Amino acid sequence: MKKVTVIKIGGNIIDNPTELEQFLTDFSKIEGYKVVVHGGGKSATKMAQSIGLVPQMIEGRRITDAPMLDVAVMIYAGQINKYIVAQLQAKDNNAIGFSGADGNLIQSEKRNHPTIDYGFVGDVKQVNTILLATLLQSGIVPVFCAITHDKKGQLLNTNADTIASELAIALAEVFDVTLTYCFEKQGVLLDSEDDTSVITEINEALYAKLKAEEVIHSGMIPKLDNCFNSLSRGVQKIKIGHHRMLQSPDVLHTTIIL
């Protein structure tokens, strides 16, 4: 079974040109099939502010009204996505940038929440695995932004972590998939103040225990829930850590197993 590396990068890399350049250099050297999923960083918020929109958040999720969706599409699918594609092309990776609308690669449905109107936010329904596998087999390096569509003409803002895990799950039908989340820390920490307290391996039992003890809390919970969901649905291996871990297997990081 061919291997695929799916890597999600967040705002801390997107917002820092030096970090982004280093990540793209390291990523471009990864052998074999690979996919990158990028979040948005601060530039969508900045752009929204500069044109007079007031960003709203509920439970850590951006409320996406129509003007905010426009900004997200511009910045994520336009500015950031094409910048990354151009840099990877310069590093001889044959990158193509995609939203979920392109090739109907990621179809979602508008979130229907009983009490909160999230606006134009989509939850992933279906990945076009056949087209994605064909692209990888043709030597293409897909670069995904966190915009999807409902196949009825509506673009939708979608959580980038979820996109990475849904792509990994879909690809696991065909390939041996490693999913890597790059973020600002070295991994899942026992003490959020101590960067060296990385938990090198975590399984469901340890996760349940650490969650009960509130050692693991807030933003890390949806991230890890995503991870265990992906593992139970066929993804082989998940890693969380700083993108420096792409440079050497010796760099401290967390591996998540069932």
d(CA 58, CA 45): 15
Residue 60 marked as a ligand binder: no
DSSP 188: S
Q: CB of residue 141 vs a second copy: minimum separation in angstroms?
A: 10
Q: CB of residue 119 vs a second copy: minimum separation in angstroms?
A: 16
Residue 93 marked as a ligand binder: no
User: Which residue from 37, 134, 42, 34 is spatially nearest to 93, judged by alpha carbons?
Assistant: 34
Q: Which residues bind a second copy (CB under 8 A)?
A: 47, 50-51, 70, 73-79, 81-83, 85-87, 89-90, 94-99, 101-104, 134, 138, 140, 147, 149, 151-155
Q: CB of residue 160 vs a second copy: minimum separation in angstroms?
A: 16
User: In Å, what is the CA distance from 43 to each residue of 12, 24, 53, 71, 159?
Assistant: 11, 19, 13, 10, 16
Q: CB of residue 168 vs a second copy: minimum separation in angstroms?
A: 21
d(CA 13, CA 1): 31
Residue 62 marked as a ligand binder: yes
Q: Are 35 and 141 in contact (CB under 8 A)?
A: yes
Nearer Cβ to a second copy, position 56 or 134?
134
Nearer Cβ to a second copy, position 89 or 197?
89
Nearer Cβ to a second copy, position 104 or 129?
104
Nearer Cβ to a second copy, position 136 or 155?
155
DSSP strand pairing (3-9 vs 176-182): parallel
Sign of CA pseudo-dihedral 228, 62, 82, 134: positive
* Residues making up the binding site for substrate: 40-41, 62, 157
